[in-house]
Structure 1
């Protein structure tokens, strides 16, 4: 986890940046994949998109050969949910897309060709870009623009204060931790649930020698990478468990209580990092988390369950990327 960065000036890179971008129970209707704010998508419609992807996109054929087209189906449903949430968030935040810039971008449509090989090296990014190409391109590009514009607006005023403990963290000697990934996950989930019941338990654990800190202040400007995590998306008085770097440190989990989340005043910090285009998009998606409750959605279990920590669909409730739980007796602050 990085919460301090090299001093740099934040640059508003949203204009044209999209060109560089490398819940409830299942619906009752038969053949329904998802219902989002009354808009129904059928399983047949998702399958038709999958068939089209395999026909048009070499990357989809690679996924099909590996029996991974389920990733594409989940991403189709995920982007439908995010599109609906984004529309409401952008309206409330006063963020609008520059349609002139989008029209100009579409004259050399960045989504017209196959998924670039460089992007497909990252499976998550590759699947995301694949589904962009299956959607209406103006809508997909507009969503990317709005996500990044939302991030640019929010970054200068976003800050969180939290207490945390680490489980299975990399050691100072860079040695592999003794705890295995399954045990670390189980411990992190248990700690988050414990902190939700007793948020002061963290301090007792730290006094007993646990790794972590109390009263950690983290401006989003100081680490755009961290700003895309669940730590910056939940309200005050929320217990969480998540992996800061799941790919490079699979046993490292953080269990925390977010004490304060501030979005209404300029953050004073001399530790500023310029976010990349990809980081802006990820932060923009994270900034949608507070607005998820404003969209009515039901997802067929065959496509998974909504995962607030991952802002994604998990294959099942047993495979969630973490925990988000309100602190018992704590009134969440307005975000």
Structure 2
């Protein structure tokens, strides 16, 4: 399966990727926004970008007037988290951003225009502002590398999981906690739900090339033995609660009737594959910005406002 096209095609799709929604105690140093195991991002760095955005972006000025600059702060911190993970993944995987694609995308610079608030998902406005406040070359390089990472593994990536479905967050949280506390509970809950006609199943294997959008979800970023609860689409009430049983990155997947993943899908899959690198970074986020949400791969205002759960099962050695 040919995933990467010619550099000219890559340049074209990168511009589109950047315009789409894409992907205990706090830090001991008060002036650190994020403490990683080997470096840090200071609160001054984050505040500089917030101030820069307010000066340059009418959309940021609106957030300021609405007393919602905390959203921009979380978006900036979330992007710094992913930037660090991209750096680690590139070193480990031997990835180098296509310089021709980076340069040509910079010539077009899809981030040069101010953020439009017309017809844009309000939840993505802060993210788009943060992209424009950051160094544009850095943002583009991150996206190139995420696309390359997604392209490297999409043909071999598959996940096998047991799951059930519920209709609201409270039910999802309750069942996820039950499954994590007692490994046998997952089997009992799924069997019970399947018997009542709910969408529930065991050993459900999905190659990434068969469902690229699903491959961008938390199911594909965790290790076997992990319980997850998440909402695949905000357009529907359904929540998935499941246990990942196997995660394969090395076996070519033969699937009929699949189309080549889009650039946006590859970037999203690449971002999801950064999840283990975020875990390995030892990152601690200053509580003033919120908490890391591994389901959304972003920063949430609080644990109660995360978009789902990622839990190790009892007795698991996974983080």
Same fold (TM over 0.5): yes
What is the Cα deviation at residue 40 of structure 1?
3.5
Gaps of 5+ in 2: none
Aligned length: 306
**d(CA) in 2 for partners of 1:34 and 1:203?**
39
What is the Cα deviation at residue 69 of structure 1?
1.6
Partner of 2:75: 75
Structure 1 position 204 matched with structure 2 position 191: yes
Which deviations, in whole Å up to 9, do the C-alpha atoms of 1:98-149 show, x marking residues without a partner? 123212322333322212456x702344322221211122111100100111
**Does the aligned pair in 1 maintain the 2:194–2:200 contact within 8 Å?**
no
Q: Secondary structure at the match of 1:313?
A: strand
Give the counterpart of 1:255 among 237, 241, 245.
241
What is the Cα deviation at residue 225 of structure 1?
1.2
Partner of 1:294: 280
Q: 1:271 to 1:56 in 2, by over 3 A?
A: same
What is the Cα deviation at residue 38 of structure 1?
4.2
Greater shift in the superposed pair: 77-86 or 61-70? 61-70
Q: Secondary structure at the match of 1:163?
A: strand
State how 1:145-184 maps to structure 2 within 5 Å: 145-168=144-167, 184=168
Partner of 2:231: 243
**Does the aligned pair in 2 maintain the 1:304–1:313 contact within 8 Å?**
yes
What is the Cα deviation at residue 193 of structure 1?
1.5
Q: Secondary structure at the match of 1:301?
A: coil
Partner of 2:10: 15
What is the Cα deviation at residue 269 of structure 1?
0.8
**d(CA) in 1 for partners of 2:70 and 2:205?**
39
Partner of 1:195: 179
Q: 1:126 to 1:276 in 2, by over 3 A?
A: farther
**Does the aligned pair in 1 maintain the 2:60–2:69 contact within 8 Å?**
yes
**d(CA) in 2 for partners of 1:97 and 1:320?**
32
Partner of 2:65: 65
What is the Cα deviation at residue 281 of structure 1?
2.0
Greater shift in the superposed pair: 237-246 or 36-45? 36-45
Q: Secondary structure at the match of 1:157?
A: coil
Q: 1:43 to 1:291 in 2, by over 3 A?
A: closer
**d(CA) in 2 for partners of 1:203 and 1:296?**
34
**d(CA) in 2 for partners of 1:274 and 1:306?**
32
**Does the aligned pair in 2 maintain the 1:25–1:299 contact within 8 Å?**
no
Gaps of 5+ in 1: 1-8, 169-183
**d(CA) in 2 for partners of 1:75 and 1:281?**
18
Which deviations, in whole Å up to 9, do the C-alpha atoms of 1:41-78 show, x marking residues without a partner? 33333223212111101221232233322111011111
Q: Secondary structure at the match of 1:222?
A: coil
Structure 1 position 186 matched with structure 2 position 173: no
State how 1:1-335 maps to structure 2 within 5 Å: 11-12=3-4, 15-16=10-11, 17-21=13-17, 22=19, 25-116=25-116, 121-168=120-167, 184-196=168-180, 197-198=182-183, 199-209=186-196, 210-246=198-234, 248-249=235-236, 251-330=237-316
What is the Cα deviation at residue 295 of structure 1?
1.1
**Does the aligned pair in 1 maintain the 2:159–2:220 contact within 8 Å?**
yes
Q: Secondary structure at the match of 1:200?
A: helix
What is the Cα deviation at residue 97 of structure 1?
0.4
Q: 1:108 to 1:208 in 2, by over 3 A?
A: closer
TM-score with structure 2 setting the length: 0.88
**d(CA) in 2 for partners of 1:156 and 1:135?**
32
TM-score with structure 1 setting the length: 0.84
Q: Secondary structure at the match of 2:108?
A: coil
